[in-house]
């Protein structure tokens, strides 16, 4: 019978709290980047998602994502309402921590993933439509993806895909849905010929700092124990974020002539998103290299939305999508089994086949998430409507959707 380890349990409870803290951090990060008239509506989406997804997760989400396997595609309903899930460890999901601790740790991942999507349709979606979309997306897209990659006998996991903390399940998954949302909801009024820039960059930087802090729980906690793999993931996380900050700002300085605070904040998030899948499998120098690549690629990724004319308002695709796609592929290059026996050796250690497996995971995630998200969004558009009225968009969603203002002068 597996026994609970107090040190591992305390570590995982702390990591779960850190990951939860990331969603309010995301609310501030996003809230500062929208216009003043939409700050509360943007923050409200993230805050409400914490409550909505947490309840969905316990009632049915967890059993779909991690319950006893049904053909490698989805979990059964055996653990619905957490029936049969108790304080005894489950050997597959943390052999030294109570099963309930793993449930709540994964709950925080399920919370922040749809919250990331909200950056794509900021400043123009109806709150009712946002709520329905998040509920449906969590069940139909997030839970199956989590099962495929992380659950015992998930089909992508069985193929050998390495995703330590959510490059596919969280970041590429949310970015593909964000692209579908940006297309379905349409561009903001005035996009391309009116100023739509951030109204409060100090708020955005504060949010980025909270995300950086919380990300240690996101990545190090994915070791599911206070051990050497967690320590390595902690180090890799910080070094990649630091290197990406330097890379983004350096390229922006060269390209635009001035380094910006928004660029520094975006750079650190790009590094964090990119290192996430690799964090438990790579060493410190590889983490720095991944961070440098992340800053450059994500900066370029953000610029592409102007060329393709889609309005991903807060750069979910350019940062999380481009970054984690690079991260998944670079995991196939830099992964080293000597650092984590549960992983595999990548290209640099004589196993080029891992890159192909990682590439397959990227393609599957993009096709599944984008396709099903597009169907859900189009269905909502035909029924309850996705977008606020033009007058409401002009007034701002704070007043139009919530009847309140962020700032009282």
Distance from C-alpha of 334 to C-alpha of 258, rounded to nearest angstrom: 33
Residue 192: what pLDDT? 85
The CATH code belonging to domain 6-402 is 1.10.3430.10
Cβ partners under 8 Å of residue 55, min gap 6: none
Query: Domain spans of the chain?
Result: 6-402
Pairing relationship of beta strands 74-75 and 69-70 according to DSSP bridges: antiparallel
Residue linked to tokens 């109204």: 199
Please tell me the number of Cα atoms within 13 Å of 128 on its side-chain side.
Answer: 10
Pairwise CA distance, residues 282 & 277, whole Å: 10
pLDDT (tens digit, 9 = 90+) per residue, 40-70?
999 999 999 999 999 999 999 999 999 999 9
Let me know if 100 is exposed, middle or buried by CB neighbors in 10 A (0-12, 13-18, 19+).
middle
Strand, helix or coil for residue 356: helix
Cα–Cα distances (Å) from 151 to 75, 92, 93, 156, 158, in that order, read 8, 8, 8, 9, 10
Q: Is 74 helix (H, G, I), strand (E, B) or coil?
A: strand
- Classify the C-alpha dihedral 296-198-171-273 as positive or negative: positive
Q: What is the pLDDT at residue 409?
A: 76
Q: Which of 216, 13, 194, 39 is nearest to 105 (CA)?
A: 13
Alpha helices in 118-171 (DSSP H): 127-137, 143-150, 155-159
pLDDT recorded at residue 1 = 62
pLDDT attached to residue 306: 87
3-state secondary structure of 75: strand
End-to-end CA distance of the chain: 62
Reading the block at residue 58, the tokens are: 């316990």
Extract the residue ranges of the chain whose pLDDT is less than 70: 1
Is there a contact between 271 and 243 (Cβ–Cβ < 8 Å)? yes
Determine the Cα–Cα distance for residues 162 and 159; give it in Å rounded to an integer.
9
Q: Which pLDDT score is estimated for 408?
A: 83
């Amino acid at each position: 019978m597996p026994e609970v380890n107090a040190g591992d349990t305390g570590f995982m409870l702390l990591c779960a709290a850190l990951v939860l803290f990331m969603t309010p951090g995301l609310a501030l990060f996003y809230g500062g980047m929208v216009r003043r008239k939409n700050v509360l509506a943007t923050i409200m989406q993230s805050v409400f998602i914490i409550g909505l997804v947490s309840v969905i997760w316990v009632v049915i989400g967890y059993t779909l994502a991690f319950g006893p396997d049904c053909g490698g595609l989805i979990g059964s309903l055996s653990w619905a309402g957490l029936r049969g899930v108790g304080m005894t460890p489950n050997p597959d999901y943390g052999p030294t921590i109570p099963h309930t601790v793993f449930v709540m740790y994964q709950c925080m991942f399920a919370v922040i993933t749809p919250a990331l999507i909200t950056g794509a349709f900021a400043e123009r979606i109806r709150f009712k439509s946002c709520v329905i979309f998040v509920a449906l997306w969590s069940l139909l897209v997030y839970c199956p993806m989590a099962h495929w990659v992380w659950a015992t006998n998930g089909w992508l996991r069985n193929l050998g895909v390495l995703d330590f903390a959510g490059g596919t399940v969280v970041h590429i998954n949310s970015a593909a849905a964000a692209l579908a949302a940006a297309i379905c909801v349409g561009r903001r009024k005035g996009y391309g010929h009116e100023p739509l820039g951030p109204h409060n960059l100090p708020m955005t930087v504060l949010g980025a700092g909270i995300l950086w802090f919380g990300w240690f729980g996101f990545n190090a906690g994915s070791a599911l124990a206070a051990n050497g793999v967690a320590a390595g993931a902690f180090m890799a996380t910080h070094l990649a974020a630091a290197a990406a900050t330097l890379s983004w700002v350096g390229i922006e300085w060269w390209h635009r002539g001035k380094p910006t605070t928004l660029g520094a904040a975006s750079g650190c998030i790009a590094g964090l998103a990119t290192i996430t899948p690799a964090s438990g499998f790579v060493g410190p120098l590889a983490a720095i290299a991944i961070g440098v690549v992340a800053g450059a690629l994500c900066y370029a990724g953000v610029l592409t939305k102007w060329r393709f004319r889609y309005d991903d308002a807060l750069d979910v695709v350019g940062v999380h999508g481009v970054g984690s796609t690079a991260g998944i592929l670079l995991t196939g290059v830099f992964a080293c089994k000597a650092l984590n026996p549960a992983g595999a050796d990548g290209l640099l250690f004589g196993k080029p086949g891992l890159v192909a497996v990682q590439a397959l995971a990227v393609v599957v995630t993009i096709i599944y998430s984008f396709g099903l998200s597009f169907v859900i969004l189009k269905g909502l558009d035909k029924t309850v409507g996705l977008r606020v009225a033009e007058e409401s968009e002009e007034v701002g969603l704070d007043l139009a959707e919530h009847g309140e203002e962020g700032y009282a002068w």
